[in-house]
Structure 1
C-alpha cells in the first residue's frame, strides 16, 4: 500500500520537525518520568561544575601556600622564631609543622628525655596530621565519583523508559513509520546525552583532583620527613 502525496508531505514535515527539534522542546514533550530523570541529571551536572570550580581554587591555593611555606621554612635559621611567625597558618604544610613542634615541645619538656619515644611520637603526630589534611581536602571527591558512575545509568533508565513510550505510541497508532517513533526515541536519547554530560566531567575531574591530592600528600610527606630529620638531629645534640 503506497502513501498518497498529502501523507508523504505530512511524514516528511514531521520528520523534518523531529530533526530540527530543540533540547527544550525535547524536554517539554518528554514523559513525566523522563522529565524527572532529565532534571535530576541537569542538577547533578550543575553540582559537578560547581564542585570542579570550587575545588580547583581550593586545591591550587593550598598547594601554592604549602610550597611557599616549605621554601621559606628551609631558608629559616631559627625554627622557633619561624614557627611563632608563621606556624599557626591554616594550610597543610603549616599544620604539619605545628604538629611536629607541639609534640617536640611536649616531649622535651620532661627532665629525662626518652629519645626513641620522642621520635615515635613525632613521626606519629606529623603522619596523622598529613592524613587528616588529605581527608579534609578529599572530603567531597566521593560526590564526583558517585555522579561519574551513576549518571550514565540514570540516563540509560530514561532512555529505556522513552523507548518503551515510543513502542507504546506505535501500538496505539498502529503506525511504525519513522515520523511516529522518532520523537520518543529522540527524547530517550536526549536523556542519555544529559547523563553523559554530567558523568564525563565528573570522572575527569575526580581523576585529576585525586592526582593533585596524591601529589600534595607526597610533598607533605617529604616535608615531614625532612623536618623529622632536623628534630632528630637536634634530639641527638641534647645530652
Structure 2
C-alpha cells in the first residue's frame, strides 16, 4: 500500500524540461555580421590610425620648444653667422628652418628678411598639416558608410518579408541588430578621426604661436642691432 502511494506521488510530480544552453556570440562574431560595408570602414580606420601616428610623432619632435633666438643671439652679436645657422639647422624644428631662412638673408632690408621668413613659415605649416585633411574627410565619411550599411540591411530585411509574407519580430530584430553594427563601427571611426583632427590641430596652433613669437623676437633683434 505504501509503495503504491509513493508511485502515485512520483507520477504526479511536475515534469521538467531540459535546460538548453544558449549559444553565446563573441564580439568578433558580432562584428563579422556587420556585412561587406565594414571593409571600407576598416580601411578608413587604418588610414586614420596611420595619419595619427605619423603626425603625432612629427609634431612631438616639432613641439620640443626651445628658444633658439636666445641661443643664437650671442652668436649674432659676435658676428658668427655660420655657427648660428648650424645651430638652427640642427634643431630639427620648424622655427629652426624659419630662422635659418632669416639668417641666410642677412644684409638685406629687414622687411625683405621678414617676407622670406613668412614664406618659409607658411611652408613649415603646410608640412606640419600634411594628412590632416584625410582625418577631416574620414570623420565625415565613416559614419555615412555605417548608415549606408544599415540602410542596405533594412532594405534586405523588408525584401525578405515581401517574399515570404511572414512578419516575425525575431527575424526583423535579429537582422536589424546585425546591420546596426555597421552604424556603430562607422560612428566609432568617425569619432576617432574627429577627435584626433582637433587634438593635432591644437598642437599645430601652439607650434605656430611659438614660431611667430620667436620670429618677432629675431626681427626685433635685427632692428636693434
Regarding TM over 0.5, the answer is yes
Farther-moved stretch of structure 1 (120-129 vs 137-146): 120-129
1:28: Cα distance to partner?
A: 4.9
Q: How many Å separate the matches in 2 of 1:173 and 1:135?
A: 58
Q: How many Å separate the matches in 2 of 1:203 and 1:43?
A: 16
Judge conservation of contact 2:150–2:182 (CA < 8 Å) in 1: yes
Q: How many Å separate the matches in 2 of 1:160 and 1:212?
A: 38
Match of 2:104 among 102, 105, 111: 102
Judge conservation of contact 2:69–2:217 (CA < 8 Å) in 1: no
1:166: Cα distance to partner?
A: 1.1
Matches within 5 A, 1:139-218: 139-218=130-209
In the superposition, the TM-score normalised over structure 1's length comes to: 0.76
Matches within 5 A, 1:13-24: 20-24=24-28
Judge conservation of contact 2:69–2:218 (CA < 8 Å) in 1: no
Structure with the larger helix share: 1
1:78 counterpart = 2:75: yes
Q: How many Å separate the matches in 2 of 1:26 and 1:225?
A: 57
After superposition, the C-alpha distances for 1:136-193 in whole angstroms (9 at most, x for unaligned) are: 1101100000000111111111110001111122222322222211232122101101
- What secondary structure is seen at the aligned counterpart in 2 of 1:87? helix
- What secondary structure is seen at the aligned counterpart in 2 of 1:104? coil
1:44: Cα distance to partner?
A: 0.9
Q: Size of the alignment, in residue pairs?
A: 200
In the superposition, the TM-score normalised over structure 2's length comes to: 0.81
Structure 2, unaligned runs of 5 or more: 1-19
1:52 counterpart = 2:67: no
Which consecutive segments of 4 or more residues in structure 1 shift more than 3 A?
A: 20-30
Q: How many Å separate the matches in 2 of 1:83 and 1:75?
A: 8
1:122 counterpart = 2:107: no
Q: How many Å separate the matches in 1 of 2:161 and 2:30?
A: 18
Q: How many Å separate the matches in 1 of 2:94 and 2:29?
A: 49
- Across the aligned residues of Structure 1 and Structure 2, the Cα RMSD in angstroms comes to 2.2
Q: How many Å separate the matches in 2 of 1:188 and 1:213?
A: 38
1:100: Cα distance to partner?
A: 0.6
After superposition, the C-alpha distances for 1:204-237 in whole angstroms (9 at most, x for unaligned) are: 0000111111111111011100001111122xxx
Match of 1:229 in 2: 220
Match of 1:4 in 2: none
